Structure 1
Amino acid sequence: MSKLEVIGMVGTREESEAFASDTSDAIDVNYLRRFAKAHDEAGFDRVLIGYSSSAPDGFAVAADVLNQTTNLGVLIAHRPGFVTPTVQARKLATLDQLSGGGRVAIHHISGGSEIDQRRDGDFVDKDGRYRRTAEFIQVLRKTLYSEEPFDFDGEFYTFEQAYSTVRPATAAGIPIYFGGQSPIAVEVGAANTDVFMLFGEPLAETAERIALIRETAAKYGREVEFSLSTRPIIADTEDDAWKRAQAIYDAAAARVPDAPSKALWFSGNTNAAVSAQRLQELAAEREVHDERLWFGMTKLAGPGGNSTAPVGTPDQVIETLLRYYDLGVTKFLIRGFDPLGDVIEWGRALVPGLRAAARDRGAVNA
């Protein structure tokens, strides 16, 4: 089995569903650096740097995170269509070279919100965005690894004699991540990505998605890895963990009236992505699936993405995550409702415990 990878997520100011930022500035440099270092010290492999049409530039944030840490890698989210794939490839390879190699990965988000896409001037329809993502990844990969200039003539991109003198610094290259669950997204991801990212659905639904994606990838003669995104809530006892979940819900619910104008986390129900809608349907069925996968925040926040939470003691949450590991998930993206505090807490038991338990499951490289 492939190496188990634990991924976090950094933000440029301290804010969560449960509490507002104490600054109106988009970037709190000191907080970002403390956040990055906390992940490094807690043993995370890399951190996701998110993307929106109003957020700070992800590449600049990634460069600072890499400069402030020793081992931590970055997973830079971006939306194809705003920077050409040849330029993006050179940016990635340059950052990889400057950071010592093996610490840079890229996540492709085709875009689920028409409003957010159009803020950046993108009026391509949803299916078109996925076709564009497919071309983008193909050109990106060729630019990173082709030893000769190449031509490309597609629906969205045309290049003549494209070539890059800068390459990834190590044999690990630049891992390519992708997310999306519509039929066209499954086709594009299965045909092109290295890692297919999934939201934290229940085990049965996750198994079904993995089987579908694997079957689709096999048509292209490919295999892909899987990442799962959840929001663990842990405490010394299970009862205390559920009390903590309720406190988080109550704090977030108090913010909802002001959220559309004041909170970065609130989706405003504008996300039409199939993956986000699937979570809402599951949340409507019941609040808790598979004993401890909590959908309370999912229902409250709307279709904004990663919001489901395994709730329990560290050992209980580890066992929950290992059930996904048994299905074929090798990468776990975990972020907290108390972002910095949770990372520090997870470094004591959750992260090392997950690695040790995965090793016991038989993964030599866990």
Structure 2
Amino acid sequence: MSHPMHGPNPFKLGVFSANADGGLTLTSVPERWQAKWTDVIAAARIADRAGIEFFLPIARWKGFEGKTNSRQHSFETFTFAAALAGATENIALFSTVHVPMVHPVFAAKALATIDHASNGRAGLNIVAGWNPDEFAMFGIDKADAPYDQAGEWIEVIDRLYTSEEPFDFDGKYYHLKGAATAPKPLNNQRPVILNAAFSPPGRDFAAKHADFLFTSFKNIEAGKETIDDVASRTKQTGRDVGVYTTTHVVCRPSQSEAEDYYERYAVIEADTEALDYMTSKQAANSRNHDPEVYSLHRKRFAGGAGTYPLVGTPQHIADEMVKMHQAGFAGTTVSFVNFTDELPYFCESVLPLLREAGLRQ
């Protein structure tokens, strides 16, 4: 079978962060996502039946403190994807990996295992990491040039998948003797690579190694600049790299109902201590957003980790996605306060509108 990320829909969708409590939110509302395994399975099956293309976990090792300590409870993403392989049929199952914390020989075998277990639906989301407190848990320092290390990391994986004989590797970050792995991924093809990056080094890495770049923006119009920039970089590498964005969704029958709920969970009942922890650490150590976004859009960070808000009626949300497609985005992820409560209504009400707009079959 062809990989779901290469399917026919012009605008593809993924469910993001259901493996972690709170999802992308920093809120204390009682209905906040708990990431119980039975609920995760239910959310994955809802997305799978609806034809959503991929299920993307977030990689977290430490919580964000505050009242909820959100993200402390999170499932490790290789085992997460492998476990979901037997519970789903068509949806792509990604693993999100902090390069410095996972050795490439292990990653290559784990990813191939998922590819076989899912009949070719595995995917890999490569991230550099930004939280020094998480790096400290592993006894390592945050890398000064993380994408240099990531370049070696993916080169090792590519060679493991293409070499029929053991090989040595002597790089700056990895020194390997007799490296080999089996089984290889299905169809002798490396699983789809997604790179979550905003910085120029991250975009350079994606242009050289990734199939898709996963990025954020302040507004849809500004997102066109990222797409143009990635296109200019891929001209130098001769590769075709699609660009995805990421959103958090509040979909309700009326605009006022959606906006009132967004205000409630992302402002009135936001976990402000956790929000302060996350934004201060990310602003100091990450290039995932424009610097002014942290101070101007606290609501977005409580509502969905700084991702773009889709708040309103099904028609409003569908119209926004049409604009994203027109700007050149290949697709977007969606996240919710509670996936099993809210994903069914999104699928029932928004997906038909996207089909009418020609974005999905």
Q: State TM-score, norm by structure 2.
A: 0.83
Distance, in Å, in 2 between the alignment partners of 1:343 and 1:354 is 15
Q: Which amino acid aligns with 1:312?
A: G
After superposition, the Cα gap between the structure-2 partners of 1:13 and 1:187, relative to the gap in structure 1 and judged at 3 Å, is closer
Aligned counterpart, 1:74: 93
Residue 269 of structure 1 is aligned with which of 275, 280, 283? 280
Give the match's secondary structure for 1:76.
strand
Gaps of 5+ in 2: 1-5, 63-73
Q: Which amino acid aligns with 1:37?
A: R
**CA offset at residue 209 of structure 1?**
0.9
Distance, in Å, in 2 between the alignment partners of 1:2 and 1:214 is 21
Q: Is the 8 A contact 1:134 1:188 kept in 2?
A: yes
Aligned counterpart, 2:19: 11
Aligned counterpart, 2:126: 108
Give the match's secondary structure for 1:342.
helix
**CA offset at residue 266 of structure 1?**
6.8
Residue 32 of structure 1 is aligned with which of 40, 52, 56? 40
Q: Which amino acid aligns with 2:337?
A: F
Between the aligned residues of both structures, percent identity stands at 18
Encode CA deviations 1:296-334: one digit per residue, 9 max, x unaligned.
622656xx8443212333233222212221232112211
Q: State TM-score, norm by structure 1.
A: 0.82
1:99-248 equivalent positions in 2, closer than 5 A: 99-101=118-120, 103-127=121-145, 129-170=146-187, 173-236=190-253, 240-248=254-262
Q: Which amino acid aligns with 2:177?
A: E
Aligned counterpart, 1:290: none
**CA offset at residue 77 of structure 1?**
0.8
Give the match's secondary structure for 1:170.
helix
Distance, in Å, in 1 between the alignment partners of 2:251 and 2:79 is 32
**RMSD between superposed Cα atoms in Å:** 3.0
Instruction: Compare 188-197 and 331-340 and name the one that shifted more.
Output: 331-340
How many residue pairs align between the two structures?
A: 339
After superposition, the Cα gap between the structure-2 partners of 1:13 and 1:231, relative to the gap in structure 1 and judged at 3 Å, is closer
Instruction: Compare 338-347 and 164-173 and name the one that shifted more.
Output: 164-173
Q: Is the 8 A contact 2:52 2:91 kept in 1?
A: yes
1:270-289 equivalent positions in 2, closer than 5 A: 270-271=281-282, 272-278=285-291, 280=293, 284=296
**CA offset at residue 191 of structure 1?**
1.5
Q: Is the 8 A contact 1:8 1:46 kept in 2?
A: yes
Distance, in Å, in 2 between the alignment partners of 1:355 and 1:74 is 23
Residue 297 of structure 1 is aligned with which of 291, 296, 299? 299
Gaps of 5+ in 1: 285-294, 361-365
Distance, in Å, in 2 between the alignment partners of 1:65 and 1:225 is 25
1:334-349 equivalent positions in 2, closer than 5 A: 334-349=334-349
